Structures are given as C-alpha cells and as structure tokens.
Amino acid sequence: MRRGVGRVAAAAAVATALTLAAVGTAHAEASYGEIALTGSGGDYSGTVTLPPGFPSVTFTSDSRAAASVPSGASNWLPAATPWGEVFGSSQNQQYLNLRPAADSAGSPSTTTYVFDTPTPAGGWGFALGDIDSDLAVVTATDADGEPVSGTDLGFEDVFNYCDASPRPSGVCSSGPPAGGTGFDLPTSAVGASDVTLTGNGPDTGGAAGWFQPTVALSSLTVEFEWQTGFPVYHTWFATQLRAVAGTVTLDGTTPQAGVEITLTGPSGEVVATTTTGDDGSYAFDGIAPGEYEVTMTVPDGLTAAGPEELPADVVAENATGVDFDLTADEPEPEVFEVPGTVTDPQGEPIPDADVVLETPDGDVVAETTTDEDGDFVLPDVPAGDYELIITPPGGAPTEIPVTVPVEEPLEITADPTPTPTPTPTPTSSPTSSPSPTSSPSPTSSPSPTSSPTGEPSPTPSASPTEEPGEDLPDTGAGAGPAAIAVLLAAAGVGVLALRRRVTE
C-alpha cells in the first residue's frame, strides 16, 4: 500500500456570509468538502464543510496515529472513474486519512460523522479508497435516528482509481497501465443495515468503493479493521452543485430590478441573498442539493400579487421558474386639515364646543372640541362634501355644509344659549253643552200671618199693577225664555222681601 505524504490542514472557514461562498473547487458541477482535523491518536475530531446549503458536519474518530488530511496533489480520484463522472476529479482536493484503532485483528477504529440537520436525500456522496489489506463496514442513521438499510446507503460500485488517466502519481506508480487488466478491486456486500467492503489482502493501490445515499442521514459511521500490514484508508466527500433561478415582474409583464431575494436552507438558516437585475432575474448558483425556501422582500409602494415565499427543491435537479409578481399599491387619498373658530352672536369665543364632521350619509369622519379661544382643527380629512355640526355646551347644534379642502379657516357663529325644554300642555276633557235651565215656577204670595202680639200689622202698600195688555218695558234682552226667567226670578225676590217686612 503506497502512502502519500500527509499533513494536518488548518481549520477551514465555514461559509456564513449572506452571499454564496465557494467551498472547495467545483468539478463537473460538483464540489468537494474541506476538512479540518484536530486531536491525536485514539482521539481525533474535526469538521467537513461542503457548499452552502449542506448541513454542517462534525466527526470523531479513535483511529490510531497518525491521521491526516492530505492535499490531493499526489493522490486523487480521476474524472474518468465512475465517481469522477458524477463529482469530477478530486485532484488537489482534500481527503481524510485514517487507520484502525490498532494494527491487529479485532481492533477496528470507529469514525462517526454527525450532520447538524438531515442531509439531502440525494445529490451528494462519499468514497472510500485504498481498501486492500483491510475491511470497512459502513452504517448510518436516518433523519429520525433509525438505522438505514444497506440498500438506502446508496452503494454504487467498486472501482480502482489507478485504472484511469491521468493516474495519481503517489499510489499508482506501479501496476497495470490504465485500461489494462489485473487491477485490485475490493469485494462488496450489502447487508440489511450495512455495506461491507473487503480488501483482497495484498498491499496494492487504488481499490475503492463509492456511495450516494438515497435517504436523508443524520449520522454516518465507518468501522475500519486491519487484515495485514499497516493499513490506512481515504475518505472523500462531495456534492453536486445546484442552482435556483427566477424573475420578479410588475403585473406579470414589467421586469422589476433591485428586488431583494433570500434563500433559506432546510434548517431555516439564511444561505444567501441577492437582488434582481435590470431584467428582473435572479439566481443562486453553486448551492448543495436540498429543499430551500425563496423569499421576496416586497419593495415599498408595491404589494405581492402572489406568494412572497416559494419552495425550491433542488435535490435531484436545478430549480428554475421560481418567479414572483408584484402590483402597485392603491394610492393613499390626499387628506387635508379643516381649521375653524366658533363664536357666539356677540363674537365671543365658545370653548368646549363639540365639532363633528359627517358625510352626507351621516358617517362621522372627524370630531374634536374647541379650545379656550374657540379654535379647532379637524385633521386628515379626504376631499369631499360634508356637514359640519357645532354644538356648544348646553346649546343647540348648528349645521353648515363644508367642502374640503377649505380655502381659509372657517368662522362659525353658534348659539350657546341652552335649548329650552318645552312644558307639556295638559289636554282638557271635552265639555258637554249646558242643558237649558227651566223657567222657575211662579211663587204664590204668602198668606198674611197674625202678629204674635195681637196688634194688627200695617198693611203694605200694593205694588202698582199694570193694566192687561200694557207693554212691558224693553230690557234689551229680548223676550226669550232666559229673559222671562230672569224677570220671574226678580219678581219672586220682591215678594219674598215684602213677606219678610210684613212678618217683622
């Protein structure tokens, strides 16, 4: 087994900017992971950084010393290999060198990669190289933490990367020429929940196998065990690169430039932002496969004519036509102030008067009260015709028509006198007509009464008696029944008076 000179890479910067940052070098629309490694024999840890949108990856390993991160300058996966046809050449791309826990049977190392959010269910892969005098067992857990079946691990095939041109110089300096025969290949076995690659024993070069998982993973584990010699194995990570593109228009036709568009990853992190060009188009290139959300920031004065957020699934292919549409806001109506002063008929200001502005339909548009100087201002009144109602404290309302905008402050005279409360007039009961008074019956003359003393009473002088047929004096009352009754009553009174005098 031929080994390239290893080195420990410096910690790679994780792309956290709002605009897309290149990670690794893109090949055949794919990108390799950048690897950072720390620790020592039996206790290694590190990170793998893939393009924007791919979950953050951390790993631990109990590999014996010395683990390393070679640069890929002398050992790589050529573009002509089955792996390279999907992810391109790994020349000058980092990979991870690990070993068993011990160079003895039954002492495998365990290396576990943990994804901070589940991976996409496609579009990315990993390759294990230099599997010749050793064996590797691959397992994983899904998004729910359950074991992944061997089939869903997405094992593709075995290959020998020395059987390609240009050949890696470090491990393929001997052996058959590219295109020849006799290249070492590991055997593979897909189990119920694992995939095992077993080397043929001799120390050769270039024996490899590769995977493209078909379900989302939350973790990936490789157990690497010694068979002979001093084995080491290599691990590469890569993803295909995807793009999301669309346009923003006004009313479905006019391109809108300068509209901010945000791309959010599956875990809710902002992956990138951009703005539309003069033609209204935008694009996010070089992102990892996955399911994204694209959000439009609606400019002032405009309204989204449809969704402001759209999904973009780029697990299997690019997403195009992620389009947004805008429409102009309805213009705000121009509004005006309506100022004025309320005074009494003597020109004195009326404070605390209620001022109400209504539409012709009686809807209140604005209201206020006058200040100590009788002044008022009604703000934010749209243009139009209104009724202004002024009601002084305790006084009667005064209504005047007003057309807004007004050319000058209104001067209104109102009556502050309290409105009199009307007194209800009792309704009299209807009175029936008086019944006619019957004429009094004639009173008979009293019989003379003897004096109690026995002395004869003087005989009263007899009243003059009118001769029969002589006319009665004219009383001016006519000769109706009422007049006769009055005369008879008077005669009766006279007879009674005479009687009293006689009896005295």
For 377-403, how does the pLDDT look when each residue is reduced to its tens digit (9 = 90+)? 999 999 999 999 999 998 999 999 999
In a domain, 15, yes or no: no
Asked whether residue 152 falls in the same domain as residue 236, the answer is yes
224/208 Cα distance (integer angstroms): 14
Strand 335-343 and strand 410-413: the pairing is parallel
Indicate whether 449 pLDDT > 70.
no
Of the pLDDT bands very low, low, confident and very high (cuts 50, 70, 90), residue 146 is very high
Of the pLDDT bands very low, low, confident and very high (cuts 50, 70, 90), residue 422 is low
Q: Which of 328, 346, 369 is the last residue of a domain?
A: 328
Q: Which of 380, 413, 446 is the last residue of a domain?
A: 413
Residue 81 has a pLDDT of: 95
Indicate whether 75 pLDDT > 90.
yes
Residue 175 has a pLDDT of: 75
501/493 Cα distance (integer angstroms): 13
Listed in sequence order, the residues at least 6 apart from 389 whose beta carbon sits closer than 8 Å to its beta carbon are 354, 355, 356, 357, 358, 397, 398, 399
Indicate whether 329 pLDDT > 90.
no
Of the pLDDT bands very low, low, confident and very high (cuts 50, 70, 90), residue 176 is confident
Q: Which domain holds residue 393?
A: 335-413
Indicate whether 154 pLDDT > 60.
yes
Asked whether residue 265 falls in the same domain as residue 303, the answer is yes
Asked whether residue 230 falls in the same domain as residue 280, the answer is no
| Stretch among 122-131, 284-293, 436-445 having the lowest mean pLDDT | 436-445
Of the pLDDT bands very low, low, confident and very high (cuts 50, 70, 90), residue 27 is very low
Furthest CA-CA distance within the chain: 197
Of the pLDDT bands very low, low, confident and very high (cuts 50, 70, 90), residue 417 is confident
Sheet holding 134-142, edge to edge: 34-40, 43-49, 57-61, 109-115, 217-226, 134-142, 195-198, 187-190
Local structure of 280: helix, strand or coil: coil
Tell me the two tokens of residue 347: 């020109």
Residue 426 has a pLDDT of: 57
The tally of CA atoms less than 13 A away on the side-chain side of residue 126 is 23
b vs e for 211-224, b when ≥16 Cβ sit within 10 Å of the residue's Cβ? bbbebbbbbbbbbb
Residue 504 has a pLDDT of: 43
Q: Which of 208, 240, 272 is the last residue of a domain?
A: 240
Contact between 166 and 133 under an 8 Å Cβ cutoff? The reply is no
Tracing tokens 């206020």 back to the chain, one arrives at 368
354/453 Cα distance (integer angstroms): 97
CA 309 to mean position of chain CA atoms: 12
Over range 256-275, report the average pLDDT.
95
Contact between 275 and 259 under an 8 Å Cβ cutoff? The reply is yes
Tracing tokens 């890569």 back to the chain, one arrives at 238
In a domain, 477, yes or no: no
CATH number at residue 378: 2.60.40.10
Asked whether residue 351 falls in the same domain as residue 369, the answer is yes
Q: How many CB atoms lie within 10 A of CB 159?
A: 23
Contact between 118 and 89 under an 8 Å Cβ cutoff? The reply is no
Mean pLDDT, the chain, as a whole number?
83
Tell me the two tokens of residue 428: 């009299």
Residue 385 has a pLDDT of: 96
In this structure, what is the dihedral angle of CA atoms 493, 495, 499, 502, given to the nearest 10 degrees? 120
In a domain, 54, yes or no: yes
In a domain, 283, yes or no: yes
Indicate whether 496 pLDDT > 90.
no
Indicate whether 1 pLDDT > 50.
no
Residue type present at position 211: F
Asked whether residue 186 falls in the same domain as residue 205, the answer is yes
CA 377 to mean position of chain CA atoms: 36
Strand 324-328 and strand 195-198: the pairing is unpaired
Q: How many CB atoms lie within 10 A of CB 372?
A: 9
In a domain, 34, yes or no: yes
357/382 Cα distance (integer angstroms): 11
Residue 421 has a pLDDT of: 60
Asked whether residue 120 falls in the same domain as residue 200, the answer is yes
24/27 Cα distance (integer angstroms): 9
Give 88: exposed, middle or buried? Use CB within 10 Å, 0-12, 13-18, 19+. buried
97/3 Cα distance (integer angstroms): 10
Asked whether residue 233 falls in the same domain as residue 254, the answer is no
Contact between 172 and 182 under an 8 Å Cβ cutoff? The reply is no
18/87 Cα distance (integer angstroms): 26
- Give the H or E element holding residue 80: none
| Stretch among 4-8, 132-136, 160-164, 475-479 having the lowest mean pLDDT | 4-8
DSSP state of 489: H
Q: How many CB atoms lie within 10 A of CB 450?
A: 9
Asked whether residue 138 falls in the same domain as residue 171, the answer is yes
Asked whether residue 75 falls in the same domain as residue 133, the answer is yes
Local structure of 85: helix, strand or coil: helix
Nearest to residue 412, comparing CAs of 375, 380, 359, 381? 375
Cross-strand partners of 476: none
Quick: pLDDT tens for 80-99. Answer: 999 999 999 999 999 999 99
Asked whether residue 383 falls in the same domain as residue 305, the answer is no
Cis peptide before 65 (omega within 30 of 0): no
In a domain, 426, yes or no: no
Q: How many domains does the chain have?
A: 3
The tally of CA atoms less than 13 A away on the side-chain side of residue 443 is 18
How far, in Å, are 262, 297, 304, 326 from residue 300 at the CA level?
17, 9, 11, 11
In a domain, 439, yes or no: no
In a domain, 52, yes or no: yes
**C-alpha distance across the termini of the chain, in Å:** 179
